[in-house]
Amino acid sequence: MINRIPLILLPALGCDGQLWSRQVLDLGDLSHPQLGDLSVDDTLAGMAQRVLAHAPPRFAVAGVSLGGYVALEMIRLAPERIARIALFGTRASMQSRPRTMAEQGTLATAPHADPALTSIISGPVQAMAERVGPDVFARQQRALLERPDIGPAIDAVRVPALVAVGDRDRICLPEDARQLAERIPGARFHLLRHCGHLPPMERPGEVTMLLRDWLKASPA
């Protein structure tokens, strides 16, 4: 009988649990999925502390963009509690800060660059943004824009790590994510083809397979 691993899933900016809905269903045989709340605090540290306060003693964590930075902050604050980490659309440094959403375009258009997915993804992404609301969105964006140097958090990663990015991601470029993977000892890097900034929704089956392999990886 497989011992299921507690798994914390963290959303991207302006997203909610719908981002991970496919993985919650598909990974239930290997894990106990739980969604982390990034809607209350306006700093990465505050978000990380809130998720840690409601998390099991030891768990795996996966995050997209904002969720990836929160996951790194969690491993900086409590490395002994993180069993493995998966980062999607996450940069290695602050040298290129996120642009304002006015520059990026709306969440419904900017994150995914594959025209074939536009009609499929735009509606759910817009619905998530409306549920999250402008106040939460502003807090999350402030946390991203004011995030501290994540170098110490990256250096704290000593567990099985997955770093993945869409080849058409315009918010976190593939080379940004590759640099992150190169800084984490033993990290696996994966490039998702025809994918933008929200892989769990854009390439759900591929992301599920990546996470299955990651969950089965030998512990550090």
Full set of structural domains in the chain with CATH: 5-216 (3.40.50.1820)
At 94 the pLDDT is 60
* pLDDT at residue 108 in the model: 43
| pLDDT at residue 2 in the model | 65
- pLDDT value, residue 70: 97
What pLDDT, on a 0 to 100 scale, did the predictor assign at position 104? 45
pLDDT score of 119: 66
5 bridge partner residues: 31
**Contact (Cβ atoms closer than 8 angstroms) between residue 60 and residue 83:** yes
The per-residue pLDDT for 103 is 35
**Whole-number Å distance between alpha carbons of 43 and 39:** 11
- What's residue 117's pLDDT? 64
User: Can you list the residues of the chain whose pLDDT is less than 50?
Assistant: 96-110
For residues 27 and 126, what is the distance between their CA atoms, to the nearest angstrom? 25
Task: Identify the pLDDT of residue 95.
Answer: 57
Model pTM score: 0.90
